[in-house]
Amino acid sequence: MTLLLGLAGGVFLLWPEPAFLVVEVTDGDTIKLRDGRTVRYLNLDTPELGLGERSDQCFAQEAKRINEKLVLEKKVRLELDINEMDRFGRVLAYVFVDGLFVNEALLDRGAAEFQLDTVNVVYQDVLITAAQKAHQDKIGRWSKCAPNSKEGCRIKGNVDESGHRWYHLPHFRHYNQVVISPEKADRWFCTEAEAIEAGFKKARE
């Protein structure tokens, strides 16, 4: 029997036991279950693995290995939010294994960055906190993918009130006044190339 629960103004689906066996880890944020379904973790994004002539993004292989250690050949419990499936037919879920919140663990280990979703928000605050701490502590990709591992990833990606996306470099005059608010789609970047690829433009110095 399926159980529906209300939380934070929304409804999410809690699948009952038994949990589902993970038979394959596709990458840092996607897994396959024994029953044939593909699951995409909610509210986070990990670096992309290479495809064809495209090379792996920084920390993509590490993110996949971290995900494998967390869930491969283990039984997971899934919680759904408002949107239960994406346009590719993948189940969108918060994933738990042995009491561990996997979405949070990937962010906490610096394997992923928070991905804003204005509809699926049940665990948004928890996940933002994990992502911010990993960035602050320069864990995982926030150290390895930075030009200077000791300084970490310091480029600020800010979305203004008009929806325009700007990135700010540490030496910019107003850099310290720019506040990164993930709940407003603001992001941290390790390089200018990352910011530009994500659709951000350089702000005025």
Enumerate the active-site residues: 40, 48, 90
What are the contacts of 80-87 at 24+ separation with CB within 8 A?
Answer: 80/12, 80/13, 80/14, 80/15, 81/10, 81/12, 81/42, 81/119, 81/120, 81/121, 81/122, 82/10, 82/11, 82/12, 82/119, 82/120, 83/117, 83/119, 83/120, 84/13, 86/40
CA-to-CA distance for 134 and 57, rounded, in angstroms?
19
- Count the helices and strands in the chain (H runs, E runs): 5, 14
Rounded CA-CA distance 30/85 in Å is: 13
Residues linked to residue 4 through DSSP beta bridges, in sequence order:
13
**Cβ-count burial 84-94 (b if 16+ within 10 Å, e if not):** eeeeeebbbbb
